[in-house]
């Protein structure tokens, strides 16, 4: 597969390490959230057959974490964003 890196352009997916569903970005705050909330966040997945937002790490590249939107049936990739930008848009900060 080829991932169109927002900074570096098309790069072979072999250079990346896959983590999983981008929902992992919404980590609860450990000081306020309890086991139930953490459990649902860490373990349960939509696992869609179709569009899937997922996290890839450009380990053999610029070490950027990316949010890739990919169709799990056709493998077509429709968007690639820097995870840091997405995280900030989601209101994550420190």
Partner 1 sequence: MSQSNRIAGGQIDRSQTFRFTFDGVPYQGHPGDTLASALLANGVRLMGRSFKYHRPRGPLSAGSEEPNALVHLRSGARQEPNTRATVAELFDGLTATSQNAWPSVKFDALAINDRFNSFFTAGFYYKTFMWPAAFWEKVYEPIIRRAAGLGSLTRQEDPDEYDKGFLHCDLLVIGAGPAGLSAALTAGRAGARVILADEDFRMGGRLNMETLTIGDAAGADWAAGVVAELASLPNVRLMPRTTIIGAFDHGIYGAVERVSDHLATPAAGKPRQTLWRIYSSRAILAAGAIERPIAFENNDRPGIMMAGSLRAYANRWGVAVGDRVAIFTNNEDGLRTATDLRAKGVDVIAVIDARTDGTLLPGIRHLKGAEVIDSSGRLALKTITIRKADGKTETVRATALGVTGGWNPNVNMTSHHRARPVWDEGLQSFIPGDGGPPGLIVAGAAAGHMSTHGALATGQAQAIAALELLGMKAKADTLPKAEDAPISITPKWYVTGGKGRSWIDPQNDVTVKDVKLAHKENFSSVEHLKRYTTLGMATDQGKTGNVIGLAVMAGLTGQTIPETGTTIYRPPYTPVAMGTLAGRSRGKDFKPFRLTPSHKWAEEQGAVFVEVGMWLRAQWFPRPGETHWRQSVDREVLATRKSVGICDVTTLGKIDIQGTDAGAFLDRVYANTFSTLAVGKCRYGLMLREDGMVFDDGTTARMGEAEYVMTTTTANAVTVFRHLEYCRQVLWPDMDVQLISTTEAWAQFSVAGPNARKLLEKIVDQDISDDAFPYMGAGEITIGGTRGRLFRISFSGELAYEIAVPTRYGDALIRRLMEAGQEFDAIVYGTEALGVMRVEKGHVAGNELNGQSTALNMGLGKMVSKKKDSIGMVLSQREGMVDPNGYRIVGVKPVDPKGQLTAGSHFLEIGAEPVMANDGGWLTSKSTRRIWAAISP
Partner 2 sequence: MADTLHALTALGHAAPETVEIGPYRITERFDVALASIASRKGRDKDVEKAAKAENLPLPGPAAAAEGATWASFWVAPQMWIVEAPFASHEDIVSHLKPAFGDAASITEQTDAWVRFDLAAPDLVPLMERLCNVDFSKAAAGFASRVVVEHTSCYLIKRGQGEVTLYGPRSSARSLLHALETAATSLL
Partner 3 sequence: MRPSVGQHCKQVLNRSKGGAGMRYSGFRVIAEALTGHKGWKPVWRDPAPQAEYDYIVVGGGGHGLATAYYLAKEFRQARIAVLEKGYLGGGSVGRNTTIIRSNYILDGNEPFYEFSLKLWEGLEQDFNYNAMVSQRGILNLIHTDAQRDAFVRRGNAMMLNGADATLLDREQIRAMYPWLNFDNARFPIKGGLAQKRGGTVRHDAVAWGYARGADLRGVDLIQNCEVTGMRIENGRIKGVETTRGYIGAKKVGVAVAGSSSRVMAHAGMRLPMESHVLQAFVSEGLKPLIDGVMTFGAGHFYVSQSDKGGLVFGGDIDGYNSYAQRGNLPVIEDVAEGGMALMPAIGRARLLRTWGGIMDMSMDGSPIIDRTHVEGLYFNGGWCYGGFKATPASGWCFAHLMAKDEPHKTATAYRFDRFLKGLMIDEKGQGAQPNLH
In the complex with partner 1, the residue whose CB is nearer, 42 or 48, is: 42
Shortest separation between residue 48's beta carbon and partner 1, angstroms: 18
Binding test (CB under 8 A) with partner 1, winner from 42, 48, 72, 78: 42
* Contact by Cβ (8 Å): 80, 4: yes
SS3 17: strand
**Run of H or E residues at 36:** helix 35-43
Counting contacts by CB under 8 A, is residue 54 touching partner 3?
A: yes
Residues in 21-40 that interact with partner 1 by CB under 8 A = 24-25, 27-31, 33-35, 38-39
Contacts of 35 (CB under 8 A, 6+ apart): none
- Find the binder of partner 3 among 7, 8, 20, 84 (CB under 8 A): 20
């Amino acid at each position: 597969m080829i991932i169109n890196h927002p900074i570096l352009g098309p790069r072979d997916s072999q250079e990346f390490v896959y983590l999983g569903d981008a929902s992992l970005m919404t980590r609860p705050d450990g000081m306020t959230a309890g086991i139930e909330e953490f459990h649902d966040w860490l373990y349960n997945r939509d696992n869609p057959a179709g569009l899937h937002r997922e996290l890839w790490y450009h380990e053999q590249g610029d070490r950027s974490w990316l949010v890739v939107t990919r169709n799990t049936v056709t493998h077509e990739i429709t968007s690639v964003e820097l995870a840091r930008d997405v995280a900030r848009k989601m209101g994550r900060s420190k």
